[in-house]
Amino acid sequence: MPGEFELLLDTIHTLRSPGGCPWDRKQTLLDAARYLMDEAAELVESALAEDPAGVREELGDLLFMTCFCCEILGETEPVDMHRIAAEGRAKLIRRHPHVFGDTTAADTTESQRQWDAIKAQEKRDRGEDPDSDSVLKELPPATAPLHQAYRYQKDAAGVGFDWPDITGVRAKLDEELQEMDEAVAAQDPAAIEHEIGDVLFAVVNLARKLKIQPDMAMRRVNKRFRDRFHLIEAEFRNQGRPLQDATLDELEASWQRAKRTLSADPD
């Protein structure tokens, strides 16, 4: 009797088959890959909300889209999910000799070093030149800019391009803020954009030194803002007043009430 995973694969195959769903049959591999990215983002949101039921649902959606991508690829290439699972498992074992082999890794730095060395050897085996690669890992174009900055800074720090402590990072942020003020005073749009970028990059570096994931911090603050603003909208809606008619003082007072209402917020 087939298990749930095999039943999922059979269901997807039916959806893509003649007589299946017109929408599912119309999707290309690129379409499916984009939907997979959306599902991954929704999984992050559920994890941030600490919603176990939501996480289970989004994991199911993510698994579906992964299998859906494989189904589409399998229509033109000799591949299926079992082969992909086997290749993925083999890669994990190969890149973790300190777990599955006879080497050791005392900490995360050493295990990462082993991972990178094995990955470089894999490139040599494929006839590629690992030394031609930059220290900065290649990231997909769709990578969120904050996370991209974080990864670049982390990669550079791995070869010593980093301040020894937070003092230098904090001073750099002050320097970038000063340069931004100067660009604003000069009313130079191109310079303002440049300096705003430098400020954001410096803030990401500060987050990294404090062991904070900047993209996760940004997601959390976006959620806090959205929740509080929804309360402001509800307050004025209940009063029968358009939000646009409120004064700035009234909006600020409503904002403070929203913050107090959402007392679980850390600030």
- At 140 the pLDDT is 79
Q: What is the pLDDT of residues 105-148, one digit of tens each?
A: 888 888 888 887 888 788 788 877 765 567 888 787 778 899 99
Q: pLDDT tens digits for 54-86? A: 999 999 999 999 999 999 999 999 999 999 999
Q: Using alpha carbons, select from 115, 82, 114, 95 the residue that is nearest to residue 2.
A: 82
Q: What is the pLDDT of residue 132?
A: 59
Q: Are the C-beta atoms of 147 and 217 separated by less than 8 Å? A: no
Q: What pLDDT sits at residue 67?
A: 97
Contact at 8 Å (CB) between 44 and 56? Answer: no
Mean pLDDT estimate for the chain? 91
Residue 261 pLDDT > 60, yes or no?
yes
Indicate yes or no: pTM above 0.75: no
Spatial contact of 39 and 69, defined as CB atoms under 8 Å apart: no
pLDDT of residue 113: 82
Q: Using alpha carbons, list the distances in angstroms from residue 255 to 4, 240, 246, 264.
A: 48, 18, 12, 15
Question: Which pLDDT score is estimated for 167?
Answer: 96
Structure confidence at residue 115 (pLDDT): 83
113 token code pair: 């070093």
Q: Which of 130-139, 233-242, 257-266 has the lowest mean pLDDT?
A: 130-139
265, pLDDT greater than 70: no
- What CA–CA distance (Å, rounded) separates 161 from 7? 50
pLDDT tens profile 6-57? 999 999 999 999 999 999 999 999 999 999 989 998 998 899 888 999 999 9
Instruction: Give residue 243's pLDDT.
Output: 92
Give the C-alpha separation, 15 to 11, whole Å. 6
Which of 91, 155, 86, 156 minimizes the C-alpha distance to 122? 91
Confidence band, pLDDT 50/70/90 cuts, at residue 96? very high
pLDDT of residue 178: 97
pLDDT higher than threshold 90 for residue 211: yes
Q: DSSP state, 130?
A: G
Q: Which of 218, 205, 109 is nearest to 166 (CA)?
A: 205
